Structure 1
Amino acid sequence: MKFTIIAAFAATAAAGAAYAEAHASGDAEAGESVYRQCRSCHMIVDADGNDIQKGGKTGPNLYGVFERTAGSVEDFRYSDAMVSAGEAGLAWNEEDFVAYVQDPTGYLREYLDDSSARGKMSYRVRSEEDARDVWAYLVSVGPAPES
């Protein structure tokens, strides 16, 4: 039984890594290391409630962020600007995620064409490479999108 669970986990991890390679330009392994900075605010908990990465609850759960409409995690209180961005069509992809995590408020202001827009995320990922790596990691641990 133990072998079956380990084998299933290994197969899932391999599939996630292959999926990430097809949908992300970063390095998922490096992204896991960079993600440690994100854990103070964000967790990654799968649909069954299993912790992939324990973390804070200041930010929304990042499981399944690929193609998710911005501002749409149930029971999370987003800024009005983030909700408006989602209503305006923002669904997370690598390009938008990388730009957002490097300058959250600036990104929302530009996306919404509203100089008063503000997000709640104050942390900035320092480099584009780190942001791409975190994206690759999140895609690798998330579910395959339905599309």
Structure 2
Amino acid sequence: MLILVPSNSRTAAEDSYGNATFKEISLERIEPILVTKLQNELPEDLLAFVRTVINYIGNPNRTSLLSYLLALEEESFTKESIGRNLFYLNLLPDLKLVEDENLIRSRLNLNITSCNILASFNRPIYDRVDELQIKKDSLQKDFYPIIQR
């Protein structure tokens, strides 16, 4: 019998969750296997796009990469899902990321730059949003409530 108990579980019976009662199974070696499996399942027409994203970001942590690939699979490996799920890789979603394959790197660069600007917590929100490389008075007002949360 296999019983899965979350590692942060705190219940009245938590004393019985220890290694003396149950054998702990490490899932650490499962992640790379799952990442490889999901990468192998990528449709041929999307493989280059996903590799470009992963390589441009430069070695995202394995858990984030796994979450990203699982989200792509969940959405049936669509072109839109490549950009929609960038938040798993700590980027802003970009539904138009793969519309023009000649612009993917520049869109990723703008995305990374924008995330770095928005994460500069030593500066006021208005200064950070104003520094974004987007058309003035377009999306700025939408960022303020999101960042203030």
What TM-score do you get using the length of structure 1 for normalisation?
A: 0.28
Which structure shows the bigger proportion of residues in helix conformation? 2
- Larger RCO (CA within 8 A; separation ≥ 6): 1
Rg larger in 1 or in 2?
2
Give the TM-score, by structure 2 length. 0.27
